[in-house]
Structure 1
Amino acid sequence: MSTTRHLVNRRRRLTTAPPRSASATEPQDAPSRIGDAPQAGDAPSRIGDAPEKAGGPGTSGEGPHPVAGSGDESVNGDEAARGAEAEAAVAAEEGSRAASASAVRRFAARLRVGLPAVLCVLTVVLGTFAVWAFTSAASLRGEPARQNTALTDIARTSEVKGRISEAVGAVFSYDYASPARSDRAARTYLTGRAVEQHRGMLAEVRAQAPKQKLVLTTTVTESAVEFLDGDRARLLIFADQSNTRTGKNEETTYAAAMFAVDAVHRQGAWRIAAIDTFTR
């Protein structure tokens, strides 16, 4: 950049300087000074004749001027070309800077216009999401199916587990020698739809028990409260069953059972209201 400015300044100085005249370059006083020397005798005439032999035009003072003038014009032309190139480079650089500044200003203007619109859209979206989240949370709190206290009400969870495990062991055990015990267990622990379901599940056992002298024993090995809400609960039951024939050919078979029961709290006790064996 400094070199470019130096060339421009140099060209300006050359164009404003006065042109050198031809009289300034030629030795006008040389003949007179040589001619004024009388002590040299005939030397002045011989020396004065030398320019004529070299050519008449050489004594007129016009010979050196064209040579000097042509060199200056060549130098001035080269410097002018370099100066023009420098000025073009400076102009191009200034134009590039101006274009960059204009692009920055246009981007800033678009940003000032677009940013408020984007912020407004984000505000609307976030507000809509907040309303939806609040409504969803309120509906979840108000829905009875979501009010599950199986993990928070430890005492009641333990109570329903113990009572229903006892009920399952009683109603799903059968002794051919004491069928009334199974009937009492059904009246004590069953209610609602579970009464008919239990009767259908043990119908074949009741029919074969006197002939084969069957003894069915059910023991709950594990239970889990899936849902607990006030006086309603749902439990998952895991049990082992043994079926023993006590006749001539005594034989015992074992099986595992898994099912779910719906329980309700009535008359101060938990009862089985429905039995789900996961079959359709």
Structure 2
Amino acid sequence: MISAWELPFDGGHADFPIALIGLGRRGCEAIQRLRQAGLAEVHAILIDHDPDSRQTDSDAHHCDWIGNAATVPDFSTGAALGLVIVGAEHHDKTEQLSFKLGLLRERPTLLLGIILPPPPGERIRLSAELLGNLDGLMCWPRDPSQDDAWVLLQATVTDWIAALATPGPVEADFAGLITTFNGARPMLVASATEEYPARPERVQAVAYAALAAWYDQGFKPAQAAGMLAVVRGVDDAMVETCDAVSRLFRDILPEAAPVMVAAPAGAGWQQRTRVSLFAVGAFGGSETDWWSPITRWKS
């Protein structure tokens, strides 16, 4: 088993091979906002060929701005995980070419995508070829300019990265994550937070709240091919609590679906508890969901 602790990591996100990849203006804006919210040490690659929209932190440490088709992005900084954010309306062929050339040079072992809903009045224009380059695909329910959608984006991106790059009482099985999420299928995400210190019964309650948020998205356990639960706020004395969270989901998912749990440590969690959930499977969405055409392509 390969754990995150055994991968190239030396005390923080900066030395772990993870990259945040923004494609187009909206994707780059989302990456910039995540960096300002605490992920500045994660390497960012901003692919935006419009010189008028160059990001204000594009010259900052751990940030590469790809401003033209002649510059090929170096995805080796995300050799383990590349997390791509792009708007569903994106159709700039030169930016997509830069992305494709970067993948030809070096493709991250696991390449996940977050697709933002198109702005009002615009339609989905992402190419099937671009979507086909992504392993797991998370279609965001609402634009991150809305508070609830931003809270979900910040929590889930932070927790996924922490599950890989931050040691803790329960560590991620990276090899298992690759096997489970490297299947070119849709993903569902959810997160719930409580502003109280973690106790066994409260962790369970927060896990149930995150599960309820899943069901609000149309989650059907029988469609799940595997999942990861990231538990924040627990310490070495609460490993059994993480086992209880694992059992909760093992009881409802198909027997063959892996259920993985990670509990990364970190400062600032003494007074908070959070559970973030990531599932991969045949999640097609209903006809009223803006992302249903995309998930049908990927299912």
With normalisation by structure 1, the TM-score equals 0.18
Structure possessing the higher radius of gyration over alpha carbons: 1
Q: Going by fraction, where is helix more abundant, 1 or 2?
A: 1
TM-score by length of 2: 0.17
Structure with the bigger RCO (C-alpha within 8 Å, sep 6+) is 2
